[in-house]
Amino acid sequence: MPDRQAPGCEIRPARPQDIDALHALIRGLAEYEKLAHQAVGTPAQLQAELFGPTPVIESALLWEGERAVGFALWFHSFSTFLGRRGLWLEDIFVLPEARGRGYGKALLRHCARIAVARGCGRFEWSVLDWNQPSIDFYKACGAVLMDDWTTCRMTGTALARFAAEQ
């Protein structure tokens, strides 16, 4: 069901025919974050993870007329302390030329409503420490920055090497 949370836009779940638009927005996010060199995922991979036999992610696109100008992509996490699942917002993005219209807040609220409807104990995401406009925005929405947590990551050769060790 479409969600009209900000004037002039419509938020709706990603559909198979939206893959190219979603992939283009992901590329736009990667460029904005100065991480385009890391954005190696393909539309086919995105299609498989969203609509394959065992989907692991969900996404919604924000449309301004016939043009997709924003997206959110999320999946479920789990809190052993709460004993409940959570909603992890992997990415949220609005094209620079479409900002200032309430679209980012509409997308964030859309995800929050999904988390509440599903009985999630948490709604979480990360933000790059240099991205002060986003940090300010999230704080204004009521989010708390978890300064005492640091993200750990293994990828590529380091992941393969560690997994192969006896």
Domains and CATH numbers, the chain: 10-164 (3.40.630.30)
Among residues 46, 138, 141, 164, which one is catalytic? 138
Look at residue 29 and tell me whether its pLDDT is greater than 80: yes
pTM: 0.92
pLDDT digits (tens, 9 = 90+) for 75-133: 999 999 999 999 999 999 999 999 999 999 999 999 999 999 999 999 999 999 999 99
Asked if 76 and 87 count as a contact pair (C-beta separation under 8 A), the reply is yes
Spatial CB neighbours of 59, under 8 Å, sequence gap ≥ 6:
13, 14, 22, 50, 71, 72, 73, 74
Is 103 considered catalytic here?
A: no
pLDDT digits (tens, 9 = 90+) for 50-91: 999 999 999 999 999 999 999 999 999 999 999 999 999 999
Closest residue by Cα to residue 62 from 112, 98, 16, 20: 98
